[in-house]
Chains A and B, each alone.
Chain A
Amino acid sequence: MEAFQFSQVNTVNSALEAVRSQTETKFVAGGTTLIDLMKLNVETPKRIVDINSLPLSQIESTADGGLKIGAMVRNSDLAHDPTVQQRYPVLSEALLSGASPQLRNMATTGGNLLQRTRCYYFRDTAYPCNKREPGSGCPAIDGFHRIHAILGTSDHCIATHPSDMAVAMMALEAVVHIQGANGERGVPLNDFYLLPGSTPNRENVLVSGDLITYVILPPVANGARSHYLKLRDRASYEFALASAAVVVSLSGNRIQRARIALGGVGTKPWRSIEAEHALEGRETNEHTFQAAAEAALKGAKPRHDNAFKVELAKRCLTRALSNVTQSA
């Protein structure tokens, strides 16, 4: 770990002030990603601004029936919030499937959106990495890549986005609110993340000086059901090899509306409009689910070690759809 300066702030304005025109400065909230990566010398910020005292820990209903989640709301608190459990079970399930209780007690909503990949090569400075050092190369493409992405990859990066929470939020069409040098803006989560392309070092639309302040979940349709299913090498404290967040509204046994996102397979939390089209207006049966799964994985680019993820993700999605449409 490199030496760094440490400061604490109590207000959003002082937080923005602390990073204004400062390079190599990072906010730290729960620290569950940043501190780990600093210990590995993957992240070497010169200055750390502690935002744990910011007044952004509220979960509030919005006027239209949605939910406003402060950036500092801890994963545990969000997962156990009665409104989340009742109206957005997919989010609660996703959060509780992630990490361990200790990590969830620390990790925050804003921080989790910025969780870094678990790519072995990204986390080991003995290797080149286009995400870490642009232009240095990607050893994962020809190396071991069992955990790597099959959707949204490029010739420069195939690293998987590891978050569970963000996958659920993707299916819930969350909007990220950002306070920056030029005021506040709201960015739909699907636009928040960038594909790696030739700049895998840029993972989202945040620019220097930006701070995530809260996330808005739109209201759920009456009678909508939601569910998160995560498949992994062991039953807890493990990242997804494939996961599915599904939000569906039924009319009888016909799907009126569907929102689908996949985790563990994409370079970003993977919203599948194609799967949604394949579901909407159709009857709830295995044939429909299978068609949605085929549509979701149509563009998959599997490699030697992660080819199994194509089938795994399909089965994950069909099982999640089957679960959510069967439950009363």
Chain B
Amino acid sequence: MSSSVIGEAITRIDGRLKVTGGAKYAADYPIEKLAYGVAVPSTIANGKIARIDSAKAEGMPGVLAVFHHGNFDKLYHPAGAFEELSRPGESRPPFEDEKVYYYGQFVALVVADTFQQAQDAAANVRVTYDEKAPLVLLNQAPPSSITAANKYSRGDADSAFQKAPVQLDATYTTPTETHNPMEMHATIAVWNKDKVTLYEASQGVVNHRNVMSEMLGIPLENIEVISKFIGSGFGGKLFPWPHSLLAAVAARKVGRPVKVSVPRTLMFTTVGHRPATQQRMRLGATQDGKLVSSGMTSFSTHPWSMITWRTARRCHRCSMTAPITPRSNIWRILMLVHPRRCAVPEELLHSSLLNPLWMSWRLS
């Protein structure tokens, strides 16, 4: 094989299957006696469920069950160690208690013979809440504590910055961003005695199986996770989300296979996102483009801000802090591909009149 792949059109192995409908996504598997689960999302971002009135929904045509924190099976918190390949998207089991942590959190699940029946009944589940003021904005509560763990420095970045002939001191904000691939999240759970098969929109079937084992409390060998195609994921399908557990438990309880799909509206609230960030950059450089000082203070709507340090930390003299923000009432965060790291050096280039490629090389 000596031919170059650069510049050549390459046929994707699964391309034809995907565009002709031949590729089966998780929600596409034809399963006999399939029942449909439609989740009821919370309409508040912080507080407690006061009451769930499911009487009307339970009496509607085709409805098999309405599940919520009052009648769901016990689930377990996972160990959650990344290295052990057991990482959930959300470590709190669904329907664990009456607490609401974010808007769009699943608070009930209607299971019915058809999708339409389940959807209709879900719209008729009445949930009332004791609501508390939510924390949802980046600057709503000022970041406070700085500990050794969220601080890093090397050399004297401050005085190097003061002496630098080219200086950039700028604050950047980025908004919340969601993955939202074409194929929405979905799970079909099929039990055969004490073994369960999960047809899953997953970018990591092994991790998915491991998490399900821990959270359902059943042996690894009793779980099979099938994900032959995904309609992209962008990282949003790396880790299991609560709908997968809802499908598994609901299927066990109603004694039929159950499909739970995440509708597009809930793709913005229940299956991970990249949090909003604020980053103050202080960069000092020489006229010929050598970076002599790099400083950064960053925080986000989640305490995971240190990830933004990765590029800036490469400078010999650097000073980084990531003040801890209070936990916000925004749904769970998750990594999203395409890191944004280039904006600041580009602005520095405008000040120092350098070739961008050369600058990148010097940063590296």
Footprint of B on A, CB under 8 Å?
1, 41, 126
Contacts and interface: CB of A to CB of B under 8 A. Distances in A.
A41 B123 contact: yes
B98 interface: no
B77 to A, nearest CB: 29
A1 B117 CA distance: 11
A126 B123 CA distance: 11
A126 B125 CA distance: 13
B43 A1 contact: no
Contacts of B123: 1, 41
B113 interface: no
Nearest to A41: B123
B180 to A, nearest CB: 14
B120 A126 contact: no
A41 B122 CA distance: 12
Interface of B: 43, 119-120, 123
Nearest to B43: A126
**Secondary structure type dominating chain A contacts:** loop
Nearest to A40: B265
5 contacts: A1-B119, A1-B120, A1-B123, A41-B123, A126-B43
Contacts of B119: 1
Contacts of B120: 1
A126 B41 CA distance: 11
B110 to A, nearest CB: 15
A198 B119 CA distance: 35
Nearest to B119: A1
A267 B218 CA distance: 57
A1 B120 CA distance: 7
A41 B43 CA distance: 15
Nearest to A126: B43
A272 B302 CA distance: 46
A124 B125 CA distance: 16
A126 B265 CA distance: 14
A248 to B, nearest CB: 38
A41 B119 CA distance: 12
Contacts of A126: 43
Contacts of B43: 126
B133 to A, nearest CB: 13
Contacts of A41: 123
Contacts of A1: 119-120, 123
A260 B223 CA distance: 66
